[in-house]
Amino acid sequence: MTKYLGSYKPTKTTEFLINLNKFVFIFGLPNFWVEDLDFPSFALPIIRHMSTFGNMAVFSLIIMEYIALFTQSNLTERQFSDLVLFIISHTIITGYRVRMAHQEGQVRAVMYKLGIGLKEIYNDEEAEKQMIKRSKFFSSALGLNCVMSLVMYTIEAILRVVRTGDAFNAVITGWPNLQDTSVLSNIGRTVFYVFWWVYLTRVFSVYTLVICLTIAVSHQFKNMNSYFRSLNSIFEDENLTQREKEQEYERAIKVGIAMHSETLKCIDQIQTICRDVFSGQIIFNLTMLIVLMYQMMNASRNLTNVLTLVVTALTILCSTGFFMWNAGDITVEADVLPTAMFSSGWENCWRESSVRVRKLIVIAMLQAQKPVALTGLGIIVLSYQSYVSIVKSSYSVFSVLY
């Protein structure tokens, strides 16, 4: 969709989505919100230039890592496995960013529905608070995990400098040579190290966006559950006649059915938008855990190496887990919806109205009973059970290979 030209009632959800878009915009993604962000006019060109520079820096880092496969001939076994791990992870996650950036219109349409369109119909403030709190928690936890992983690799590189006198090589690139300690080489290492941290901001932005979208959808089902259960209150209004109550209830049920239909469309749109991210994350998780287990088997047994590998493994497990847990919550919350529809108060209708309402409720419940789930690789349902199976599969593959 194009930029939204209408007006809307500000809510905590719209405020949260605006702040989310400011965050991802600063860190290299487009503005997915339905209107321009309220940055100062002088800041926008600076942010855009910095985003362009940051994206170019990340691509430069990845290209130099591929070149290192051919130019760095004296790598230890641990350094070579680190290089392979970085190439795989940096390539896949940068692909996420490129994919999301090319779906600006689709993401904006979903944000409009979740933040404005569906909230204008009904907004449970308690579910809204839970959504924002959960989004902030998972985003913060993900950021902490990623930073800890990079910090541990940095500490490991510093300790190698102290213990063996090697050059500082936190990330391996095609230039400079690992043994070259000249001033120019050290400047080059510093530049690529900064590029590595810039890459981390891209990880934050993409993962945070996807996680927040899935959380918003799961809480939209909570919002609908609250909506249908609240319809009972129509028949408690003593200022309305029985006929007026029945007419209001029928109208409200039709609104709820339309809201459910729009929410299912959001699910389909998110599946389309995030399909490559979900599929890539499953492949990423399997591959990275196998590489890390291989490193654990062959690396020297010192505290720094072990902590680095453990923290990196936890980062990978948490990032995949955050995707799959929150996507699994969509299925859980959607399963509760038929019960909420049944508990909406249809039994309070009489005669002809009762017949019409029961037909509506049956049709709505039949639609709501269809399983709702996001998938990766086209066949793997994102859920708690699938997450455990993927982790187990990584160890099984490693056991067969090694």
Phi, psi (rounded to 5 degrees) for 85: -60, -45
pLDDT in tens, 177-196: 888 888 999 899 999 999 99
In the predicted structure, residue 159 carries a pLDDT above the cut 90 = no
Is the CB of residue 266 less than 8 Å from the CB of residue 217?
yes
> What was the pLDDT predicted at 305?
75
Q: Which of 192, 213, 342, 191 is nearest to 270 (CA)?
A: 213
> What was the pLDDT predicted at 378?
83
Q: Which residues contact 316 (CB under 8 A, 6 or more apart)?
A: 284, 285, 288, 289, 292
Region of poorest pLDDT, from 135-144, 279-288, 393-402: 393-402
pLDDT in tens, 330-350: 999 999 999 999 999 999 999
Q: Which residues contact 323 (CB under 8 A, 6 or more apart)?
A: 210, 211, 214, 277, 278, 281, 382
pLDDT in tens, 342-378: 999 999 999 888 999 999 999 999 999 999 999 988 8
- What predicted TM-score, i.e. pTM, was given to this entire model? 0.91
> What was the pLDDT predicted at 116?
93
> What was the pLDDT predicted at 3?
58
Is the CB of residue 93 less than 8 Å from the CB of residue 281?
no
Q: Which has the higher per-residue pLDDT, 90 or 301?
A: 90
In the predicted structure, residue 300 carries a pLDDT above the cut 80 = no
> What was the pLDDT predicted at 304?
72
Distance of CA 87 to the CA centre of its chain: 21
DSSP state of 231: G
> What was the pLDDT predicted at 271?
94
CA–CA distance, 379 with 386 (Å, rounded to integer)? 11
Round the average pLDDT of the chain to a whole number and report it: 89
> What was the pLDDT predicted at 294?
79
User: Strand, coil or helix: what is 381?
Assistant: strand
> What was the pLDDT predicted at 213?
94
1: confidence class by pLDDT, cuts 50, 70, 90: low
Q: Which residues contact 36 (CB under 8 A, 6 or more apart)?
A: 3
> What was the pLDDT predicted at 184?
93
Taking residues 105-109, report their average pLDDT.
93
Pairing between β-strand 380-381 and β-strand 375-376 as defined by DSSP bridges: antiparallel
Taking residues 131-137, report their average pLDDT.
94
pLDDT in tens, 248-295: 999 999 999 999 999 999 999 999 999 999 998 888 888 888 887 877
pLDDT in tens, 223-239: 999 999 999 999 988 88
Is the CB of residue 366 less than 8 Å from the CB of residue 258?
no
Burial class (CB in 10 A: 0-12, 13-18, 19+), 357: buried
Q: Which of 345, 122, 351, 120 is nearest to 248 (CA)?
A: 345
Region of poorest pLDDT, from 54-58, 90-94, 304-308, 376-380: 304-308
Distances from the Cα of 163 to the Cα of 4, 76, 311, angstroms? 59, 16, 22
Region of poorest pLDDT, from 164-173, 244-253, 293-302, 378-387: 293-302
> What was the pLDDT predicted at 19?
94
Is the CB of residue 62 less than 8 Å from the CB of residue 69?
no
401: confidence class by pLDDT, cuts 50, 70, 90: low
Question: DSSP characters for 4-69?
Answer: --S-----HHHHHHHHHHHHHHHTT----SSS-----TTHHHHHHHHHHHHHHHHHHHHHHHHHHH
Taking residues 15-39, report their average pLDDT.
92
Taking residues 126-138, report their average pLDDT.
94
Sequence-ordered alpha helix ranges (H) in 166-241: 183-230
Is the CB of residue 309 less than 8 Å from the CB of residue 295?
yes
Q: Domain spans of the chain?
A: 12-401
CA–CA distance, 88 with 103 (Å, rounded to integer)? 23
Sequence-ordered alpha helix ranges (H) in 41-182: 43-71, 77-101, 104-112, 118-121, 125-164
CA–CA distance, 51 with 30 (Å, rounded to integer)? 10
Region of poorest pLDDT, from 257-261, 319-323, 348-352, 397-401: 397-401
Kind and range of the H or E run holding 376: strand 375-376
6: confidence class by pLDDT, cuts 50, 70, 90: low
> What was the pLDDT predicted at 333?
92
